[in-house]
């Protein structure tokens, strides 16, 4: 019986190198890359912003990602269990709870936004989106997100698909679907890129992306780049830690983190190459903000030959990117529930998904019936959830990881784990120590003060 039980309790794990990469890159690559990165780049003037972003990714994002991976792999536990395993005497596990809570809240509204994408995808395939006059697209977007029933249904659909994948476990769920979805995403992105750069007038868009004009760059832009680096790499909420716990000692963690980081960055840049040349070629505004993909792009596709086809591909692309991210968010919470409450994966997935749906409702209603319900400086529920997680919990989670690895567990132990106790070389120990102990924490504190508005007071 014990044997049987041991077998049952044995932790699931990734089956192949490619599977790990697909799942981790799938988590990192999401709405952040295809929806947010292009519009904040547009807002901040293009290439100069991108350069700053690249620095943030390489100097701060990468070392923090390595730290999360090693914490997970060392302890082979969920985000809460990982802290407990290394420091059982002190309340560091609360940092894990913070991560799980952050993932839970983010997923509740991320699923709603992914739901909008599903709505658009449906309307793109049927050609309905094409029939909307370009100057009506703003109102149209408003009516979709304000249409409670549809939003409720699409959010539910996103959560249902995510749950169906997570319920099958790591190897047969997360890994299997990531390995199918990520190559599809890459293929679609390539097709769209070729289409966009071969349009007449595309070069202006490429110039916007790749020719830096530093006069456009503000301090606020720099800080936004730093904050987005965290969000885009899925750091600060135990996701990378949880995925790290399903990796075995024979993997070179540093190499993996570099690959995930490069993939995430390349995809964000490619999304820019899809969007801006087309936006410029048809004479639209690059600085449209959050409505860029929902309002500007449909107008761009409208003007393009075979627009319906490319529009459909585009929304399928973002839907896939969003799904591989919702999977990772759900997995963090489910792994926690399984191990800390000794639940079966099935039960944990069902309960968590149900709770998530309940929490999504206030966000959905923020765009309709409850749009007038506001708190803390006029924030709706959605604004509040987004603000709390992106601006407070994520930086705080990242900071705690740095302090924990830098000062409690020690970078010496982290480096032993990075090298798998000497199996692999690691030439960047000095840079790594400095980043985790000094540079990253300092940078995070500054982002935090900025994004909460404390810096401007
Ligand atoms: N990194 C994902 C993106 O860029 C978003 C994400 C954030 C995913 C937090 C999981 C957790 O869209």
Partner residues linked to 379 by β-bridges:
375
DSSP letter string, 338-394? HHHTT--HHHHHHHHHHHHHHHHHHHHHTTTTTTT--BTTTB-HHHHHHIIIIIIIH
- Cα of 370 from ligand 1 centre, angstroms: 26
pLDDT at 305 exceeding the cut of 80: yes
Task: Please tell me the distance from the alpha carbon of residue 67 to that of residue 64, in angstroms, as a whole number.
Answer: 5
The pick from 24, 25, 28, 238 for probing ligand 1's pocket by mutation, whose C-beta has the most ligand atoms within 8 angstroms, reads 28
**Is 355 within 8 Å of 340 (Cβ atoms)?**
no
Between the CA of residue 50 and those of 43, 54, 101, 272, 321, what are the distances in Å? Answer: 12, 6, 31, 10, 21
Task: Please tell me the distance from the alpha carbon of residue 281 to that of residue 296, in angstroms, as a whole number.
Answer: 13
Q: pLDDT grade, residue 134 (50/70/90)? A: confident
For residue 151, the model assigns a pLDDT of 93
Three-state DSSP at 457 gives coil
Cβ–ligand 1 contact at 324 (below 6 Å): no
Among the listed ranges 87-101, 179-193, 369-383, which one has the minimum average pLDDT value?
Answer: 369-383
Closest-lying ligand 1 atom to the alpha carbon of residue 321: 12
> pTM for this structure?
0.90
Among the listed ranges 57-66, 211-220, 307-316, which one has the minimum average pLDDT value?
Answer: 211-220
Q: 378: exposed, middle or buried (C-beta count within 10 Å: 0-12, 13-18, 19+)?
A: exposed
Average pLDDT value for the chain: 89
Mean pLDDT of 1-20: 68
Closest-lying ligand 1 atom to the alpha carbon of residue 325: 8
Mean pLDDT of 90-118: 94
Cβ–ligand 1 contact at 57 (below 6 Å): no
Q: pLDDT grade, residue 7 (50/70/90)? A: very low
HSE value, Cβ hemisphere, 13 Å, CA-based, for 302: 19
pLDDT in tens, 400-439: 999 999 999 999 999 999 999 889 988 999 999 999 999 9
For residue 456, the model assigns a pLDDT of 65
Cβ–ligand 1 contact at 328 (below 6 Å): yes
For residue 386, the model assigns a pLDDT of 87
Please count the other Cβ atoms lying within 10 Å of the Cβ belonging to residue 227. Answer: 23
Higher pLDDT: 98 or 369? It is 98
- Name the residue with the closest Cα to ligand 1, atom 9: 234
The angle that helices 253-281 and 62-75 make with each other, rounded to 10 degrees, is 140
Find the angle CA(343)-CA(348)-CA(349) to the nearest 5 degrees.
155
For residue 457, the model assigns a pLDDT of 57
- Cα of 198 from ligand 1 centre, angstroms: 30
Cβ–ligand 1 contact at 102 (below 6 Å): no
**Percentage of the chain modeled with pLDDT above 90:** 55
Mean pLDDT of 49-76: 94
Please count the other Cβ atoms lying within 10 Å of the Cβ belonging to residue 337. Answer: 21
Find the angle CA(195)-CA(199)-CA(200) to the nearest 5 degrees.
170
Max mean pLDDT among 163-172, 214-223, 287-296 falls in 163-172
pLDDT in tens, 234-293: 999 889 999 999 998 889 999 999 999 999 999 999 999 999 998 898 888 887 777 888
Cβ–ligand 1 contact at 100 (below 6 Å): no
Please count the other Cβ atoms lying within 10 Å of the Cβ belonging to residue 222. Answer: 20
pLDDT at 181 exceeding the cut of 60: yes
Q: pLDDT grade, residue 214 (50/70/90)? A: confident
Q: pLDDT grade, residue 3 (50/70/90)? A: low
**Is 246 within 8 Å of 13 (Cβ atoms)?**
yes
Residues listed for the chain: 457
Mean pLDDT of 12-24: 87
């Amino acid at each position: 019986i014990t044997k049987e039980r041991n077998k049952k309790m044995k932790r699931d794990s990734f089956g192949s190198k490619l599977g790990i990469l697909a799942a981790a890159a799938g988590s990192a690559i999401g709405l952040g890359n295809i929806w947010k990165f292009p519009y904040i780049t547009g807002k901040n003037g293009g290439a100069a912003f991108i350069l700053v972003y690249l620095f943030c990714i390489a100097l701060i994002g990468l070392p923090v990602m390595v730290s999360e991976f090693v914490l997970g792999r060392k302890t082979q536990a969920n985000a809460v269990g990982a802290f407990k395993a290394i420091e059982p005497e002190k309340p560091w596990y609360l940092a894990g709870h913070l991560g799980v809570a952050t993932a839970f809240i983010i997923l509740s509204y991320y699923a709603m936004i992914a739901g909008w994408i599903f709505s658009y995808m449906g309307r793109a395939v049927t050609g309905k989106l094409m029939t909307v006059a370009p100057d009506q697209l703003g109102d149209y977007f408003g009516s979709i997100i304000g249409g409670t029933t549809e939003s409720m249904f699409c959010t539910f659909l996103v959560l249902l698909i995510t749950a169906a994948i997570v319920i099958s476990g790591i190897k047969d769920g997360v890994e299997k679907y990531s390995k199918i979805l990520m190559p599809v995403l890459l293929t679609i992105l390539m097709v769209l890129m070729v289409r966009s750069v071969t349009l007449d007038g595309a070069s202006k868009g490429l110039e916007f992306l790749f020719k830096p004009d530093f006069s456009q760059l503000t301090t606020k832009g720099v800080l936004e780049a730093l904050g987005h680096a965290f969000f885009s790499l899925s750091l600060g909420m135990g996701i990378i830690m949880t995925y790290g716990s399903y990796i075995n000692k024979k993997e070179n963690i540093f190499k993996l983190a570099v690959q995930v980081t490069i993939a995430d960055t390349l995809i964000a840049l490619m999304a820019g190459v899809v969007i801006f040349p087309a936006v410029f070629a048809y004479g639209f505004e690059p600085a449209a903000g959050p409505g860029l993909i929902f309002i500007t792009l449909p107008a761009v596709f409208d003007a393009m030959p075979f627009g319906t086809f490319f529009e459909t591909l585009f929304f399928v692309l973002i839907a896939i990117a969003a799904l591989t991210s919702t999977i990772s968010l759900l997995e963090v919470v489910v792994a926690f529930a399984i191990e800390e409450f000794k639940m079966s994966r099935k039960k944990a997935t069902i309960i968590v998904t149900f709770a998530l749906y309940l929490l999504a409702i206030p966000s959905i209603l923020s765009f309709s019936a409850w749009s007038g319900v506001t708190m803390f400086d006029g924030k709706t529920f959605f604004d509040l959830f987004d603000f709390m997680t992106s601006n407070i919990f994520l930086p705080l989670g990242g900071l705690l990881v740095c302090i924990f690895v830098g000062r409690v567990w020690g970078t010496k132990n982290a480096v032993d784990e990075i090298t798998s106790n000497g199996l692999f070389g690691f030439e960047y120990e000095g840079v790594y120590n400095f980043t985790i102990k000094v540079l990253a924490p300092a940078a995070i504190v500054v982002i935090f003060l900025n994004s909460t508005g404390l810096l401007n007071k």
